[in-house]
């Protein structure tokens, strides 16, 4: 490898966990050094734009977690109007976040199609897979919240209890899928560190 052609690539992918990455201590990618090709700068710019989408999502995630706690409290109080308002707000918030997430996935996908370093390409592929997992997790949460919104306040207690059970089950799916996403992202970060180590040797 011709070290004279090596340059520093900005760490533009430090926030690729959609909603929960900011809570983790292992989000530093360490993917600092790449052999530049004709498209590396353009690919890095796309990824930087994707990060802008994901930074907005982090703010939404924090708000979503607050609303989730408020929803649980409202359900305990059997406050039908409050439950319906909060569930509506949560659904709209998740919709907006997922739209930004899809935009980020599209940009990362375009970056992968460019003429870039093989390790960088594999790294982006893993990050995209991780991101898609998280989108899937939030789709599960959205479905559960919509189900709860549509059933809460009906005259059928059995329907409400069924919706509550579905929310619990979907939340379990959410947690499991998010953990799978973190594992994939960790694999990407490990690849980045190994690549940087090889380049510096």
Q: Residue 122's pLDDT is what?
A: 92
Statement: residue 104 has pLDDT above 70: yes
Statement: residue 18 has pLDDT above 50: no
What is the reported pTM? 0.74
Statement: residue 79 has pLDDT above 70: yes
Give me the long-range contacts of 1-7 (CB less than 8 A, separation at least 24): 1/35, 1/199, 2/35, 3/199, 5/35, 5/36, 6/33, 6/34, 6/35, 6/36, 6/199, 7/33, 7/34, 7/36
Q: pLDDT digit string (tens) for 19-73? A: 333 334 344 443 344 444 468 888 888 988 888 888 888 888 888 788 888 888 8
């Amino acid at each position: 490898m011709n070290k004279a052609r090596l340059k520093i690539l900005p760490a533009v992918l430090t926030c690729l966990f959609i909603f929960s990455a900011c809570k983790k201590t292992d989000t530093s990618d360490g993917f600092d050094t790449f052999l530049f090709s004709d498209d590396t700068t353009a690919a890095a710019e796309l990824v930087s734009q994707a990060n802008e989408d994901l930074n907005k999502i982090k703010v939404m995630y924090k708000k979503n977690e607050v609303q989730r706690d408020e929803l649980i409290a409202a359900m305990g109080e059997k406050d039908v109007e409050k439950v319906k308002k909060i569930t509506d707000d949560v659904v709209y918030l998740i919709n907006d976040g997922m739209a930004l997430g899809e935009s980020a996935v599209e940009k990362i996908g375009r970056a992968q199609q460019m003429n870039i370093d093989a390790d960088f390409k594999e790294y982006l592929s893993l990050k995209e897979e991780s991101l898609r997992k998280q989108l899937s997790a939030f789709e599960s949460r959205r479905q559960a919240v919509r189900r709860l919104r549509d059933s809460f306040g009906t005259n059928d207690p059995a329907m409400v209890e069924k919706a509550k059970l579905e929310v619990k089950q979907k939340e379990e799916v959410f947690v499991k899928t998010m953990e799978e996403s973190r594992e994939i992202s960790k694999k990407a970060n490990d690849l980045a560190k190994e690549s940087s180590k090889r380049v510096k040797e």
